[in-house]
């Protein structure tokens, strides 16, 4: 589409009453930049989101005790699935996809429940591979929740308020901090080994150095350094760890140069008790996707209200659900829209969805090269923990920002307080559910499901200020 056609589209949107966000874009949503420029901008999107895509499979693989070959495969499939899902989201196939320059990547929100489900299966006698089959089965069927919700998005705002969603995001971030600090100290394997390596001065110093680098670069005045802070911190830590003899490349010799995806490689299992905590997560992921796509629409100079906007949002959430199902089939974890690319759009002035096709191609190619996953699989746990600890803390702060965006009154504060107390309480003392029925234990053993359900119930049951005033007025009139 030419720029003139793009301008005509905006005029039509304006005529229909849809507000248009003014922008200084070099290329609009449907413009086609030259191949060289598209590739250059695509690489910036890849660098901004690459770490976020590969980190969840690395953490999950470490927690489940997977061998290097399987860990490398999970990382590769995460990259390949992100490429395929990004293409679907940007291209919009039928009703599926937003048609915006929106990237898909592995969701951090599911980390805690996935690790809990996997480790629980292993403790019950399953192998790590069988535990993955359970995880992928639960994630596959759970994606139907988001697919169905995409048709009823107009009802979600009445159920999931900013106080509720912000509280759950805080619980997600605060709960993941434990995973990050374990990695910084040496990882779950070192913790289980009890050989003195867990929490050693060497691990703490290496992880602390990575943290310091990320913090310094994040507060830098240079945009490129800020955007690449985590990637740079990981790279520096990786190099230092290699000189310290902490990087083991022996597993790379067992990896083929090129490998095609194998759907259902680990099989697929399902358990209702394990599935229940995931329902709420898919609901919250839908809410998060609405926010991400609204931001993408705004920075791309597209409508943020009206029929066109609603159609894109519904298509984007539907794409999230379909893409999460595809990810499960490809042996990786739920996909969601990433917000990192909105900063890249602002910085480059390129909001063309055709750039997303280049991003998709790069991720897909990287996913077909097992050596790429192998290189990242070799990242020492302290290096990974030093970077992810800040990422998880940032998630908690993001939740705090969502909560504070609402006008906090006593009702809101009690919702946040009780939800945090119960959600984090079961995280710190999971043994309180020992001896309870499996269904009850699986539902409330997750900090996210416990805290989230508490927030939803309190938001529904506690009278709002307007409700209280109406009740009070009723008493006055009767007297």
Mean pLDDT over all residues of the chain?
A: 83
> Which DSSP letter does residue 27 get?
B
pLDDT for 294-349, tens place per residue? 878 888 888 877 889 889 999 999 999 999 999 999 999 999 988 777 777 877 78
How much is the CA Rg of the chain, to the nearest whole Å? 23
Whether 374 is in a domain gets the answer yes
How far is Cα 305 from Cα 226, in angstroms, rounded to an integer?
31
State the average pLDDT over residues 31-40.
89
How far is Cα 130 from Cα 268, in angstroms, rounded to an integer?
8
Position 24 confidence tier, pLDDT thresholds 50, 70, 90: low
If you average pLDDT over each of 37-51, 116-130, 185-199, 397-411, which comes out highest?
A: 116-130
pLDDT for 67-81, tens place per residue? 888 988 999 999 999
Structural domain harbouring 89: 30-399
Q: Is the pLDDT of residue 21 over 70?
A: no
How far is Cα 227 from Cα 229, in angstroms, rounded to an integer?
6
pLDDT for 136-146, tens place per residue? 999 999 999 99
pLDDT computed for residue 467 by the predictor = 52
Whether 309 is in a domain gets the answer yes
Whether 423 is in a domain gets the answer no
**Which residue did the predictor score with more confidence, 182 or 221?**
182
**Cα maximum dimension of the chain:** 85
Handedness of CA 286, 292, 297, 303 (dihedral sign): positive
Burial 176-195 (b: 16+ CB within 10 A, else e): bbebbebbbbbbbebeeeee
Position 470 confidence tier, pLDDT thresholds 50, 70, 90: very low
Position 6 confidence tier, pLDDT thresholds 50, 70, 90: very low
Whether 452 is in a domain gets the answer no
Whether 293 is in a domain gets the answer yes
Spatial neighbors of 273 by CB under 8 A, at least 6 apart, are 438, 439, 441, 442, 443
Which residue has 């070959």 as its token pair?
69
pLDDT for 49-107, tens place per residue? 887 898 899 889 988 989 888 988 999 999 999 999 999 999 999 999 999 999 999 98
Across 63-154, the runs of DSSP E, i.e. the strands, are 104-106
How far is Cα 25 from Cα 254, in angstroms, rounded to an integer?
47
Q: How far is CA 313 from the centre of its chain?
A: 18
Q: Which of 161, 139, 104 is nearest to 316 (CA)?
A: 104
Total domains in the chain come to 1
pLDDT computed for residue 332 by the predictor = 94
Position 475 confidence tier, pLDDT thresholds 50, 70, 90: very low
Collapsing DSSP to helix, strand or coil, 93 comes out as: strand
Whether 95 is in a domain gets the answer yes
How far is Cα 174 from Cα 167, in angstroms, rounded to an integer?
10
pLDDT for 258-302, tens place per residue? 888 999 999 999 988 888 888 888 987 887 788 788 878 888 888
pLDDT computed for residue 436 by the predictor = 79
pLDDT for 203-252, tens place per residue? 999 999 999 998 998 888 887 777 678 788 888 999 999 998 888 777 67
Burial 352-368 (b: 16+ CB within 10 A, else e): bbbbbbbbbebbbebbb
| φ, ψ (nearest 5 deg) of residue 306 | 100, 175
**Which residue did the predictor score with more confidence, 18 or 129?**
129
Handedness of CA 270, 273, 279, 285 (dihedral sign): negative
pTM, 2 dp? 0.75
Whether 169 is in a domain gets the answer yes
DSSP letter string, 362-419: HHHHHHT-HHHHHHHHTS-HHHHHHHHHHHHHHHHHHHHHHHHHS---HHHHHHHHHH
Spatial neighbors of 209 by CB under 8 A, at least 6 apart, are 236, 237, 240, 386
Q: Is the pLDDT of residue 424 over 50?
A: yes
pLDDT computed for residue 12 by the predictor = 41
Burial class (CB in 10 A: 0-12, 13-18, 19+), 130: middle
State the average pLDDT over residues 114-130.
91
Handedness of CA 405, 409, 410, 415 (dihedral sign): negative
Cβ(356)–Cβ(111) under 8 Å?
no
Collapsing DSSP to helix, strand or coil, 10 comes out as: helix
pLDDT for 371-411, tens place per residue? 887 887 788 889 988 888 888 888 788 788 878 877 788 88
Whether 467 is in a domain gets the answer no
Token couple for 463:
């009278």
Collapsing DSSP to helix, strand or coil, 30 comes out as: coil
Position 16 confidence tier, pLDDT thresholds 50, 70, 90: very low
pLDDT computed for residue 25 by the predictor = 77
């Amino acid at each position: 589409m030419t720029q003139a056609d793009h301008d005509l589209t905006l005029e039509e949107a304006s005529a229909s009453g849809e507000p248009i966000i003014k922008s200084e874009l070099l290329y609009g949503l449907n413009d086609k930049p030259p191949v060289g420029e598209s590739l250059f901008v695509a690489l910036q999107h890849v660098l901004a989101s690459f770490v976020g895509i590969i980190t969840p499979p690395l953490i999950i693989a470490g927690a489940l005790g997977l061998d290097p070959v399987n860990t490398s495969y999970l990382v590769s499939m995460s990259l390949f699935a992100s490429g395929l899902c990004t293409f679907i989201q940007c291209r919009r196939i039928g009703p599926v996809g937003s048609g915006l320059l929106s990237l898909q990547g592995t969701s951090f929100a599911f980390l805690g429940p996935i690790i809990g489900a996997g480790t629980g299966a292993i403790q019950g006698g399953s192998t790590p591979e069988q535990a993955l089959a359970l995880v992928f089965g639960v994630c596959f069927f759970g994606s139907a929740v988001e697919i169905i919700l995409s048709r009823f998005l107009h009802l979600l705002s009445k159920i999931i308020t900013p106080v509720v969603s912000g509280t759950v995001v805080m619980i997600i971030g605060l709960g993941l901090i434990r995973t990050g600090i374990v990695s910084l100290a040496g990882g779950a394997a070192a913790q289980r080994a009890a050989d003195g390596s867990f929490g050693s001065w060497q691990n703490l110093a290496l992880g602390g150095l990575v943290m310091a680098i990320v913090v310094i670069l994040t507060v830098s005045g240079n945009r490129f350094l800020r955007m690449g802070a985590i990637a740079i911190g990981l790279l520096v830590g990786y190099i230092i760890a290699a000189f310290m003899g902490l990087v083991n490349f022996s597993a790379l010799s067992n990896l083929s140069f090129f490998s095609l995806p194998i759907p259902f490689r680990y099989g697929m299992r399902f358990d209702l008790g394990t599935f229940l905590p995931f329902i709420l997560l898919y609901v919250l992921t839908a809410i998060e996707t609405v926010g991400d796509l609204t931001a993408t629409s705004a920075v791309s100079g597209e409508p943020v209200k009206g029929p066109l906007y609603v159609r894109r949002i519904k298509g984007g959430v539907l794409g999230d659900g379909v893409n999460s199902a595809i990810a499960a089939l490809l042996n990786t974890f739920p996909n969601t829209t990433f917000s990192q690319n909105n900063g890249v759009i602002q910085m480059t002035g390129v909001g063309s969805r055709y750039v997303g096709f280049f991003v998709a191609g790069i991720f897909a190619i990287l996913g077909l090269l097992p050596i790429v996953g192998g290189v990242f699989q070799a990242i020492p746990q302290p290096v990974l923990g030093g970077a992810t600890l800040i990422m998880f803390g940032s998630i908690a702060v993001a939740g705090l920002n969502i909560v504070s965006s609402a006008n906090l009154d006593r009702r809101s504060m009690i919702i946040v307080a009780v939800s945090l107390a119960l959600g984090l309480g079961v995280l710190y003392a999971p043994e309180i559910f020992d001896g309870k029925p499996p269904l009850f234990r699986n539902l409330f053993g997750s900090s996210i499901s416990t805290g989230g359900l508490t927030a939803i119930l309190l938001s529904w049951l506690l009278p709002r200020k307007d409700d209280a005033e109406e009740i009070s007025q009723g008493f006055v009139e009767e007297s």
